[in-house]
Every structure is written in structure tokens, then in C-alpha cells.
Structure 1
């Protein structure tokens, strides 16, 4: 299925489940458009018709007909602006506010009915996926709060998958890189219980968007491993925060030095490492993951 067909199939699925194609939304006398108009007017004490039309992308004549019916049903009042007679101001009446409250209550009940049968993890995935759709179509992800937490079951599989997928998409690396990451993750799991090892997941809106691990190289030297930040969460300082947390842990764990391995093409990661005080220790040209690159070792004292 191509991308256009996939989106159209999702639209058919979603509108069928919401019942927006039926004559009355949520078993009410109102269409989806009419319910949205009541909702938007209710968000404000007063709403100008031109603003409402632009906000909802409605034809002026179509909107006027809906408002005339609302006025006849006693749901809204319309009056000319005191400062500009060309502008028409719309307000909900008590009956209009009651109709809006009824629509809100039924919409919330409908969504709860969707969510109730789902396990909590699937609810989180569903809400996060909806947020991703909004973020992509609106062109930016809000810089909301994120948290760092220890990995939970399922997170390490995500680490392997996202490393393989992202580095293939962004740098063209082949499946041998994913195999390397899987080996590092296996070493991380095998060393559970080592007080000189820890990992952190960066979580935003209930979904993992970043990862880093501090692992033992020897008794005095730590290794920074597997730094990853999702493209949708870049620019929020998550990468630097993960590195800072790794350094803080390494100091408290008693290490005197920390090292990392990277490649010359990973310019964004190198900037983070340099800001954190790492210095280039050595570099070697090599063929890796289907590409000719320069392997670099960076380190710093703690």
C-alpha cells in the first residue's frame, strides 16, 4: 500500500470509529462541523464571524446558514461590533452553553469507551502516536518537559531498533550497525548488578525519545555508549542532558576517566561531546557499516 492510500485508509477507519459521517454526531442533532463551531465559540466569551470562518476554513455562506439556524434555535446571539459595524460578534446563550457541555460530555464518554479496553501501555502508544501526527503536520514539536528515567522492559529493544532505523535513514548504514548495537545491549544486560553501570531513557509525552548508557571499560575507566536522540526531540537539549547525566554518574561511581567511540560523520554528537569537555584522542580510517568513515576515540578526565 502506498503512502497516499495508507493515509486514506486510516481516515476511513478513524471517521468510521468516531461516527463523524452519520447524520448526527454522538447521537445529537449536530453535525461534526456544527459541533466544532459550538466548541470554538464556547472557548471564548465572544467570537467574530471572520475569525471563526478562518479558523475552521469554512465558506462564508455556509457558516452564515449554520449561525442563522443556531440563532433560530436559541443557541447563539449575533450583534454588530461596537467598534466596527462590518464585524459580527457571536456569543453562546445559556441553551448554547448547555448544548456545548452535552457534546463535550458525550465526546469524552466516547473516548473513554475507546480507551477502557486497552492496557495502559497501548493507551500511551495511542496518545503518543496522535501527538506525533500533530507534531509532523504542524511542523514543530512543542518544547515540553521531558524526564530521564532508568530503562524499563521493552526500552532496550527500542534502543536497538531505533539505532538501526535512524542511522540507516540518516547515514545509509547497513544492518551490521544494528548487530553492533545489539551486542552492546547484550553486554549491558549481562552486566546488570554492576554498580559501575547505568542507563537512562529520555521520555517525552510518555514516549522514549533518547537513550545513553555508562558502562565499565576497566576499574578506572567508564565508557559512554549508545547516545541517541530522536529527530523529533532534537534541539531541546536532551543530548547534552543525557551526556551530563552519564558524566555525573561516572564520577560518583568512582571512575577517573571516561571514553567513547564515534565516527567523523556524526557531527551533531561530536559537538555535544566537545561541549562536555571530551577531546579527540585518536582516529583511524575504516570501512564500517557499508561506508568509508573515520573512527574516532574521544575521552576526558573526571
Structure 2
């Protein structure tokens, strides 16, 4: 990446940190620094939360989260307890005092946001909020991680079930994975293939598989992104990563098939350099077949 792009990101980070007040010991004029305030807000809705889930959502080290929780617990704002069904799991919830503190943070956060917008005219406000929405989308995309997993891993299984359920609602006559040409997840397990899972805030949000049949082009299967994570460029990223894996395994072509109902997928394939070709298999759910030379 270009050095000027790196420098722009650093300038942006410094400006935001200064403008929103994270450098102050008493964030938003309250009694605690930003880390404690942000964790308190995340716990926030009055329910009980798995500490690990909160930590993964914020991307924080477990030791740091433990120190923050101890400080909040000492001030009577949270209660940390073992899970009633699994003593190895810690849960956290806000006390009444914690809920009042969170309401205070909400009020002060609204005031801070208004103070950012108030000096600007209507056109500038629209420009700023639109730019913020775009930055938020791109930063979220940058937080997605890809990992090669066994198809039997719980996160992989979750993605495959979600994939099948969504296609079942889209295809004429539904979708039964057992009737597809890939009923056996072992075809996406080394050395016959591989399976990628995308995670955001520790949760699986997308997947893609690659078959590596002997003496034949690689084949992409089960490319899926959860509805809530679409618009982040994740499908294109998964597709590109699967192509890179195919090339590293010595394949010079990659194939895939798709259903006529998946119009957005077909646009992605064409935009990514795939050309429609005659049918190369008898997949019962396929209406279109594509190939790309790597």
C-alpha cells in the first residue's frame, strides 16, 4: 500500500481521537476513562451477556477486559457471575447504578455528536454524515477475518446451514443439500479441497469452499455471505481468496455453477472476469456455468 495512504489514515485517527475526547481521563465529563465507558455502554441493554462475546465484539485482550470489569464492578456498575449452566463461562450485566451511568453516557454522547455538527451548515452536515457512513462501512469491512476451517467446525457448519436455508427460500422447489453434487463436506477438506470462513466480531458471517479434483480445474462451491454483512465487498474478497488458493495449488482455471435466482452472484462473477461456458456437470440446481482462467 502507498505511504501517503498510511499517513492519511494516521492523520484521520489522530483527529478523531482528539475531537471525540478519548485522550481525556474523564470521558464525556464523566467519572471514568474511555475504555471503561465503552465497555459499560457495550454491556448496556440491561440483559446478561457472555463476557467472551463482549470481548470479541470490541476486539480487546482478555486481560484488559478483566481489568476494566474489575474497575466497573468495584464501582458497583456491573455484576460478573459464572454462567448458571457452565461455570467456566463468565457473564456480566449492569446494575441499576450501571444503567443510570449508561443513560448519562448516552446523553453526553448525543451532545458530543451535536457539537460536531453544530458549527457546520446543512450541506456540510450532509457531507460529514455521508462520509462517516462510508468510513464506517469500510472500517467494518477491514475488520472481517478469513480463516481456513474444517467443514465440520461449528462456525463452518453454521454457514453451511444458513446457506442452505437461504437457498431453500429462493429456489423454485426449495434446496436440499443432499441432492446437490456436494453432499459430502469431505470434498472441501484437505487434500481434496478447502473451506474458508469469514468472521466479524468473532461471529461467522460468510464462507466459500474450493474443490481441487485431480486432473481438473478447481471448482468454487458454497459461496455465501450473511444478509447483515452484505455491502462490505466480502463476497468478492472470498472469491478472490479462493482463486488465489486455486493458483497456489497449481490450477490455471477455476469453475463454478449457479442458479438463475442468484442474479447478484452472477453479476459478481461476470464483473470478476468469469465467462459463461457450457455445462460441465449435471448439478440439478444449476442453470449457469462459469469459468475463469487464472
TM-score of the two chains, using structure 2 as the length reference: 0.51
What does residue 264 of structure 2 align with? 268
1:236 paired with 2:220, answer: no
* Matched-pair contact (CA < 8 Å) for 1:220–1:254: no
1:45 paired with 2:37, answer: no
Deviation of the 1:204 alpha carbon: 0.7
What is the distance in 1 between the residues matched to 2:274 and 2:224?
A: 17
1:168/1:301 Cα in 2 relative to 1: closer, same or farther (>3 Å)? Answer: same
* Matched-pair contact (CA < 8 Å) for 2:149–2:156: yes
Secondary structure at the residue paired with 1:168? Answer: helix
Give the superposed CA RMSD. 3.5
1:114/1:106 Cα in 2 relative to 1: closer, same or farther (>3 Å)? Answer: farther
Secondary structure at the residue paired with 1:106? Answer: coil
What is the distance in 2 between the residues matched to 1:157 and 1:263?
A: 22
What does residue 287 of structure 2 align with? 295
Deviation of the 1:264 alpha carbon: 1.7
Structure 2 unpaired stretches of 5+: 1-25, 31-70, 92-132
* Matched-pair contact (CA < 8 Å) for 1:279–1:299: yes
Structure 1 unpaired stretches of 5+: 1-41, 47-100, 124-139
What is the distance in 2 between the residues matched to 1:183 and 1:232?
A: 27
What is the distance in 1 between the residues matched to 2:214 and 2:156?
A: 23
1:240-272 Cα offsets, whole Å, 9 max, x none, are: 000000111111110011110101210111122
1:114/1:274 Cα in 2 relative to 1: closer, same or farther (>3 Å)? Answer: same
What is the distance in 2 between the residues matched to 1:276 and 1:178?
A: 29
What is the distance in 2 between the residues matched to 1:260 and 1:182?
A: 12
Deviation of the 1:185 alpha carbon: 1.9
Secondary structure at the residue paired with 1:214? Answer: strand
What is the distance in 2 between the residues matched to 1:283 and 1:219?
A: 18
Question: How many residues are treated as equivalent by the alignment?
Answer: 179
What does residue 33 of structure 2 align with? none
1:30-60 Cα offsets, whole Å, 9 max, x none, are: xxxxxxxxxxxx85228xxxxxxxxxxxxxx
What is the distance in 2 between the residues matched to 1:236 and 1:178?
A: 31
What is the distance in 2 between the residues matched to 1:213 and 1:235?
A: 21
1:214 paired with 2:184, answer: no
1:53-103 Cα offsets, whole Å, 9 max, x none, are: xxxxxxxxxxxxxxxxxxxxxxxxxxxxxxxxxxxxxxxxxxxxxxxx877
User: Where does 1:174-253 land on structure 2 (aligned, <5 Å)?
Assistant: 174-177=174-177, 179-180=179-180, 183-189=183-189, 192-194=190-192, 197-253=193-249
What does residue 165 of structure 1 align with? 165
The structure 1 residue matched to 2:77, chosen from 90, 98, 107, is 107
Q: Which has the larger radius of gyration?
A: 1
* Matched-pair contact (CA < 8 Å) for 1:160–1:185: no
Secondary structure at the residue paired with 1:183? Answer: coil
1:118/1:244 Cα in 2 relative to 1: closer, same or farther (>3 Å)? Answer: farther
TM-score of the two chains, using structure 1 as the length reference: 0.50
What is the distance in 2 between the residues matched to 1:165 and 1:119?
A: 33
